[in-house]
Amino acid sequence: GVPVNVALSWVEAGFATGREVWLGKPGAMEKIATPAGKTHTAGPLEFGQTYQWRIDQVGPSGVVTGRTWTFTTATCLAAEDFQSYADDAAIQAAWPHNIPGTFKYVLLATDSAGNKTMRLECQNQFEPFFTEATRTFAAAQDWTQLGAQALSLAFAGDDTNVEHPMYVKVEDAAGHSAKVVHPFTYACQSEAWRDWTIALADFSAGGADLTRVKKLTIGLGSGQNSGQTAEDRDGIFVDDIRLCPAQCSNPQQLDLRGDLNGDCKVDIEDLLILMDNWLNDGSSAVP
């Protein structure tokens, strides 16, 4: 779970007049820096990769090799996990909705384990027949800088909801926006938590500059009357919005554990890999 822009720090030996930072994949460390202080930020590194590092101390008698340490980077970069918000007012300030008046459609939800999520409610039986919550970043963000290729978010709904198209919209600093709609209008009825992965290329194809992302919007509704009755309120929970390397878009929640070659499908190619490595225990011994 270490960030891909990892901040390294260490305790110096009393004799040290300098230091060398070594970092690399297992068995392939290289000297990457000779910092003036006792910290160094390295990266961006690869997502989900194990690295080794060490600090060699330089003193009057020469270089003393340090101990080798190991860490593994996070598989994704958190864009929003909602844990920092103290109450409804705090999350409403960060994620204001588009409905005029004093209505409160963005709420902070906390489960029994203390995990916080955003509750986005809607009354799409009334104009404008869609409800959005938008996060505006203080400074435009470069979502491509760390090699991210997908936006992933977790959501859960309620089986009493009517069907609402659910969508994510990205707007860049120049005001160009692109919207991606979930393939199933009944997704908001799922009471089980689901992961929705969207290729960043879908946003850039829609005209958004992903090197200057200014706004992120989550919405429910099509712009037409949802058919909700009277004062009925529907809603979804949203959590763990992340930037990730290339991932399979799997809205059907299929079991892809057998996808051995990473092409987002389980087929004969995966079976061939399995057969080729059958009974391989990792030993280098030759029978």
Token digits of residue 164: 């609402």
Q: What is the 3-state secondary structure (H, E, C) of the chain?
A: CECCCEEEECCCCCCCCEEEEEEECCCCCEEEECCCCCEEEECCCCCCCEEEEEEEEEECCEEECCCCEEEEECCCEEEECCCCCCCHHHHHHHCCECCCCCCCCEEEEECCCCCEEEEEEECCCCCCCEEEEEEEEEEEECCCCCCCCEEEEEEECCCCCCCCCEEEEEEECCCCEEEEECCCHHHHHCCCCEEEEEEHHHHHHCCCCCCCEEEEEEEEECCCCCCCCCCCCEEEEEEEEEEECCCCCCCCCCCCCCCCCCCCCCCHHHHHHHHHCCCCCCCCCCC
Whole-angstrom distance, CA of residue 95 vs CA of residue 118 = 9
Q: What is the pLDDT along the chain (287 residues), one digit of tens a residue?
A: 888 889 999 999 999 999 999 999 998 999 999 999 999 999 888 888 899 999 999 999 999 999 999 999 888 888 899 999 999 999 999 999 999 999 999 999 998 788 999 999 999 999 999 999 999 999 999 998 777 889 999 999 999 999 999 999 999 999 999 999 999 999 999 999 998 999 999 999 999 999 999 999 999 999 999 999 999 999 999 999 999 886 555 656 666 667 665 556 777 876 877 777 776 655 444 44
What pLDDT sits at residue 280? 62
Residue 214 identity: K
